[in-house]
Amino acid sequence: MQELTEPRDRLLLGPGPSNVNPRVIRAMTMPLMGYLDPTFLKVMDDVTSLLRQAFGTSNELTLAISGTGTSGMEAALVNLLEPGDSVVVGVNGLFGGRLADIATRCGASVTTVSAEWGQALDPAAVEQALADAGQVKLLAVVHVETSTGVVQPLPPLAEAAHRHGALFLVDAVTSLGGVDLRVDEWGIDACYSATQKCVGAPPGLSPITLSPRAVEAISGRSTPVQSFYLDLLHLQRYWITDRTYHHTASMPMIYALREALVMAMEEGLENRQRRHERNAAALRAGLAEFGMRPVPPEGIRASPLTAALVPEGLEEAKVRRALLNEYGIEIGGGFGPLAGKIWRIGLMGESSQASHVLTLLHALETLLAREGVELASGAAVAAAHRSLAEE
Ligand SMILES: *Cc1c(COP(=O)(O)O)cnc(C)c1O
**What is the tens place of the pLDDT at every residue in 327-355?**
999 999 999 999 999 999 999 999 999 99
Q: Long-range contacts for 388-391 (Cβ within 8 Å, ≥24 apart)?
A: 388/278, 388/282, 388/354, 388/357, 391/278
- Cα-to-centroid distance, 222 and ligand 1 (Å): 30
Q: What is the pLDDT of residues 130-177, one digit of tens each?
A: 999 989 999 999 999 999 999 999 999 999 999 999 999 999 999 999
The pLDDT, as a whole number, for residue 184 is 98
Beta bridge partners of 109: 86
- Cα-to-centroid distance, 383 and ligand 1 (Å): 31
For ligand 1, atom 12, the nearest C-alpha belongs to 173
Q: Between helices 269-289 and 379-389, what is the axis angle to 10°?
A: 150
SS3 category, 312? coil
- Cα-to-centroid distance, 173 and ligand 1 (Å): 6
Contact, 165 vs 136, CB < 8 A? Answer: yes
Mutate to test the pocket of ligand 1, among 147, 174, 179 (most ligand atoms within 8 A of CB): 174
CB atoms within 10 A of CB 8: 8
**From the alpha carbon of 206, which atom of ligand 1 is closest?**
7
Contact, 81 vs 124, CB < 8 A? Answer: no
CB atoms within 10 A of CB 219: 8
CB atoms within 10 A of CB 87: 26
Length of the chain counted residue by residue: 391
Q: Which one, of 76, 331, 325, 64, lies nearest residue 201 by Cα?
A: 64
- Cα-to-centroid distance, 157 and ligand 1 (Å): 21
For ligand 1, atom 3, the nearest C-alpha belongs to 69
**Residue 41, CA atoms < 13 Å, CB-side half-sphere:** 13
Q: pTM for this structure?
A: 0.98
Instruction: Kindly report the average pLDDT of the chain as a whole number.
Output: 97
C-alpha radius of gyration, the chain, whole number: 21
Rounded CA-CA distance 257/237 in Å is 20
End-to-end CA gap in the chain: 57
Confidence of residue 263 (pLDDT cuts 50, 70, 90): very high
**From the alpha carbon of 143, which atom of ligand 1 is closest?**
13
SS3 category, 205? strand
Residue 106 has pLDDT above 80, yes or no: yes
Rounded CA-CA distance 152/377 in Å is 36
- Cα-to-centroid distance, 170 and ligand 1 (Å): 12
Q: What is the pLDDT of residues 213-237, one digit of tens each?
A: 999 999 999 999 999 999 999 999 9
The pLDDT, as a whole number, for residue 374 is 87
Query: Ligand 1: residues within 6 Å at CB?
Result: 16, 68-70, 73, 95, 142, 146, 171, 173-174, 194, 203
Residue 6 has pLDDT above 80, yes or no: yes
Contact, 158 vs 129, CB < 8 A? Answer: no
Q: Is the dihedral of CA 280, 283, 287, 289 positive or negative?
A: positive
- Cα-to-centroid distance, 377 and ligand 1 (Å): 36
Mutate to test the pocket of ligand 1, among 68, 102, 192 (most ligand atoms within 8 A of CB): 68
Going from the C-alpha of 37 to that of each of 61, 238, 241, 252, 367, the distances in angstroms are: 21, 12, 15, 15, 53
**Where are the alpha helices (H) located in the chain, listed in sequence order?**
22-27, 38-55, 69-80, 94-105, 123-133, 155-163, 183-186, 212-219, 232-239, 251-267, 269-289, 316-327, 354-370, 379-389
Residue 391 has pLDDT above 80, yes or no: no
- Asked if residue 17 has a cis previous peptide bond (ω within 30° of 0), the answer is yes
**Would residue 32 be called left, alpha or beta, if left means φ above 0 and alpha means ψ between -120 and 50 degrees?**
beta
The pLDDT, as a whole number, for residue 1 is 85
For ligand 1, atom 5, the nearest C-alpha belongs to 69
Mean pLDDT of 30-52: 98
**Residue 8, CA atoms < 13 Å, CB-side half-sphere:** 10
Mutate to test the pocket of ligand 1, among 70, 98, 199 (most ligand atoms within 8 A of CB): 70
SS3 category, 146? coil
The pLDDT, as a whole number, for residue 82 is 97
Contact, 173 vs 191, CB < 8 A? Answer: no
The pLDDT, as a whole number, for residue 59 is 98
**From the alpha carbon of 174, which atom of ligand 1 is closest?**
15
The pLDDT, as a whole number, for residue 347 is 98
For ligand 1, atom 6, the nearest C-alpha belongs to 69
Q: What percent of the chain has pLDDT over 90?
A: 98
Mean pLDDT of 98-112: 98
